[in-house]
Structure 1
Amino acid sequence: MDWGNFFESVTSWIGAHGLRILLIISLSFLFYRLIKMALDRGLVRYVEFREHHHAGTREDRIKRAKTLASVLTGSVGVFMFGLTVFMLLAELGIDIAPLLASAGVLGIAIGFGAQSIIKDTLNGLFILLEGQFNTGDVVKVAGVSGNVEDLNLRRTVLRDLDGIVHIIPNGQITTVSNYTHEWARVNLNVPVAYSTDLDQAAAVINRVGRELAADPEFSPMIISAPQVLRVDNFADSAIEIKVLGDVHPMKQWPVTGELRRRLKKAFDEAGIEIPFPHTKLFFDDNQLDKYARLSFRSDAGRRSAEGGIKPIPPARDNLPPDTEP
């Protein structure tokens, strides 16, 4: 092998194509970085402009913008990678026209065979553009509740309270229940006994709600103090009082838990009973008389058997209708 000619041909090829290949790769990477930077900044400004009047915090809007930007930049990255590969193949002298035609035919075939993927992608796009939920939100979708750990155009990843990860295709999401969008609410039914003075109970609940809202630890979580809305229900063992209060997203659970704890202590101090189910049994007088006579016969028979005396059977007319002498 003539190494001199080999190195000469390699050097000639690098001189003719190497600089172009390096330029294609560098420009593609630079273009991708510029698009990513523009999307990161532009989407934050777009979301700020579009949702500045909403009650959500700026951190929530930035979170949504970053979620949308990460998905779009990922899609742009895939497109840029494919485009760069075709440009490099063309530079290497490979005819890409048949590849493009094959890719078109393959795309049509995949489109017919992967309609669910297309449905997932389109639904995911609408979820992101409409801001139905973002990474970090607590939602219920497709019958599953949990924290959104990841979101892209194809699927949503939830983790529930048991730590179980649920991967849900976006095409299966028809209804979204977002527990942490812009603001949340303490919604609690407080049961009290039927003998309770309802005005006193309402005063105690409102006082505890105001004290909770004034607490330095919980005041940053609360928008409006929990307070009595109405008498909500006459239950089997209690009267239920509806309590509502507005809080910041994801703070309804710690605030509700602390409210329950404080209400229990306040009710104990005020002598207000939080009832538990009671059951009352009623007996018919005729049935009680029947059971008493049967018990008497059984007891008399036992005592006579012990003493060797045969008891005198009662008259048939005095027996209950379903017994024998």
Structure 2
Amino acid sequence: MNQTLDQMKQWLLTHGLAILAILVLCVAAYFLLGLLVRFVTRRVKSLDAKDDTLLDRRADTISDVLYSAGLVVIFVTALVMVLEEIGVPIAPLLASVGVVGLALGLGAQTLVKDVISGLFILLENQYMITDVIEVNGIVGNVEMMTLRATTLRDAAGTLYIVPNGEIRIVANRTRDWSRAIIDVGIAYEADVDRALAALQSIGEEMVADAEIGPLLLEAPQVTGVEGLEEWAVRLRMMVKTKPNQQWDVQRYLRRRIRLEFADQGIDLAFPRQEVALVNMPAGEKNGDS
């Protein structure tokens, strides 16, 4: 019994202290990683750019990826050091990994593919945190990005985690600038020229508006008659906006168009059906000849 206690004390004094030192180093590395991420973030944000908001989002994206990659490096390094300290031979373990790797090849290939794709997404600056993108039929706001996966949240609040290796085509709806497009259907009986003039007037008011004006990059354009539908004459209005602001501009436009058209007596189109009643000859009623 005493011999066992002595062995435990000896093990704690040697290997136990070494493991404790490894854990302390891990904690120190964790804090150093945080300092490094903050330093890189500040450096990126301090660069000269035309759009400071865009630079801030770029810095946040880089910091997220750098932080997640750093945590993986710290964890793997600490695990290897602890295994060596408790007597687990690393060399045979690594050799066995080569044998087992054949069986795990498919899974490893998928992971490597995700990481490589994540690196290219980051280096090519395909999208950033807070961008609204469409990937694999999913439209959502980029909440988080790591080397392995991208996290999206759609308008309904559903959270999607998309492996970077599965991303083939990215549609970025908020990069550099956006465009608000409004189609207005008016009745065939309405005066088209009058409706177009009303849209042009609304566009001029938008530019001068203290709330909406700063969101615009160009003056609104009324393109004219875009289509003749079954029950409506379709007019179109477009305006170039700052990134991610097109939806606010569209909501403003819909409200102003509804109020302005109502004031001017311009009828908006809605589905309708005309029924013609034809008087039948008396002799043909009820199928009589």
User: Aligned partners of 2:273, 2:87: CA distance in 1, in Å?
Assistant: 89
User: Aligned partners of 2:258, 2:110: CA distance in 1, in Å?
Assistant: 52
Count matched residues. Answer: 289
CA shift at 1:140, angstroms? 1.5
Deviation string 1:57-85 (CA, Å, 9 cap, x unpaired) is: 42333233223322332222222222122
**Residue aligning to 2:216:** 222
Find out whether 1:165 has 2:159 as its counterpart.
yes
User: Aligned partners of 1:25, 1:186: CA distance in 2, in Å?
Assistant: 54
Among 39, 43, 46, the alignment partner of 1:45 is 43
**Residue aligning to 2:32:** 34
CA shift at 1:14, angstroms? 5.0
User: Residue 244 of structure 2 aligns to which amino acid in structure 1?
Assistant: M
Seen in structure 2, the aligned counterparts of structure 1 residues 28 and 142 have a Cα distance that, compared at 3 Å, is same
**Residue aligning to 1:74:** 68
User: Residue 297 of structure 1 aligns to which amino acid in structure 2?
Assistant: G
Seen in structure 2, the aligned counterparts of structure 1 residues 14 and 116 have a Cα distance that, compared at 3 Å, is closer
Find out whether 1:192 has 2:186 as its counterpart.
yes
Alignment of 1:147-296 (within 5 A): 147-277=141-271, 292=280, 295-296=281-282
Seen in structure 2, the aligned counterparts of structure 1 residues 298 and 193 have a Cα distance that, compared at 3 Å, is closer
Moved more, 193-202 or 263-272: 193-202
User: Aligned partners of 1:75, 1:175: CA distance in 2, in Å?
Assistant: 24
Alignment of 1:297-316 (within 5 A): 297=283
Moved more, 269-278 or 74-83: 269-278
CA shift at 1:298, angstroms? 5.1
* Structure with more contact order per residue of length (Cα contacts < 8 Å, sep ≥ 6): 2
Q: TM-score, normalized by length of structure 1?
A: 0.73
User: Aligned partners of 1:178, 1:233: CA distance in 2, in Å?
Assistant: 28
Among 111, 129, 136, the alignment partner of 1:135 is 129
User: Aligned partners of 2:112, 2:15: CA distance in 1, in Å?
Assistant: 39
Q: Which runs of 5+ in 1 are unaligned?
A: 303-322
Give percent identity, aligned residues only.
Answer: 36
CA RMSD, aligned part only? Answer: 3.4
Question: Which is higher, the Rg of structure 1 or of structure 2?
Answer: 1
Seen in structure 2, the aligned counterparts of structure 1 residues 114 and 90 have a Cα distance that, compared at 3 Å, is closer
Among 110, 115, 125, the alignment partner of 1:121 is 115
Seen in structure 2, the aligned counterparts of structure 1 residues 193 and 100 have a Cα distance that, compared at 3 Å, is same
User: Aligned partners of 1:169, 1:6: CA distance in 2, in Å?
Assistant: 50
Seen in structure 2, the aligned counterparts of structure 1 residues 165 and 110 have a Cα distance that, compared at 3 Å, is same
Deviation string 1:192-238 (CA, Å, 9 cap, x unpaired) is: 34454444333321222232343333334333343313432233333
